């Protein structure tokens, strides 16, 4: 018997079809969601409460977002911070966005990290995000 596969779309998968953020696992704990953005706890957290804020539109670079998408992410950042404050009571935060492989981006869908920090979580936190290049952290 001959099988007719003409109904199967043989075109290559689009980037968003492969994207873990466009296809969130049902096990992901969503913190909040709007029409344009979603926030959830990072699957590989740096600290307790580490969250990601992403636009729903599949875009690789922060610099390619619309002004409205950037504003929506900023508004959601405040909402997520409040929820993390209530649940985990951190002592501080780091906020970061990696753009391109050279900057450490590994999922090419824009995502903003909100990383809660706790007193004593590192020996000397001076320099904060400057620590992405360890020799430049202390100044």
Residues with active-site annotation:
111
Q: 3-class secondary structure for the chain?
A: CCCCCCCCCCCCCCHHHHCCCCCCCCCCCEEEECCCEEEEECCCCCCCCCEEEEECCCCCCHHHCCHHHHHHHHHHHHHHHHHHHHHHCCCEEEEEECCCHHHCCCCCCCCEEEEEECCCCCCCCCCHHHHHCHHHCCC
């Amino acid at each position: 018997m001959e099988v007719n596969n003409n109904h199967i779309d043989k075109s290559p998968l689009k980037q968003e079809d492969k994207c873990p953020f466009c296809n969130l696992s049902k096990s992901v704990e969503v913190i909040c969601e709007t029409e344009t953005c979603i926030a959830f706890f990072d699957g590989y957290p740096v600290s307790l409460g580490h969250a990601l804020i992403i636009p729903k539109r599949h875009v690789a670079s922060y610099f390619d977002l619309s002004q409205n998408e950037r504003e929506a992410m900023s508004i959601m950042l405040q909402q997520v911070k409040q929820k993390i404050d209530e649940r985990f009571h951190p002592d501080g935060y780091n906020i970061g966005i990696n753009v391109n492989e050279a900057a450490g981006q590994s999922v090419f869908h824009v995502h903003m990290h909100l990383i809660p920090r706790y007193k004593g979580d590192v020996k000397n936190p001076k320099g904060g995000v400057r620590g992405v290049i360890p020799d430049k952290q202390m100044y």
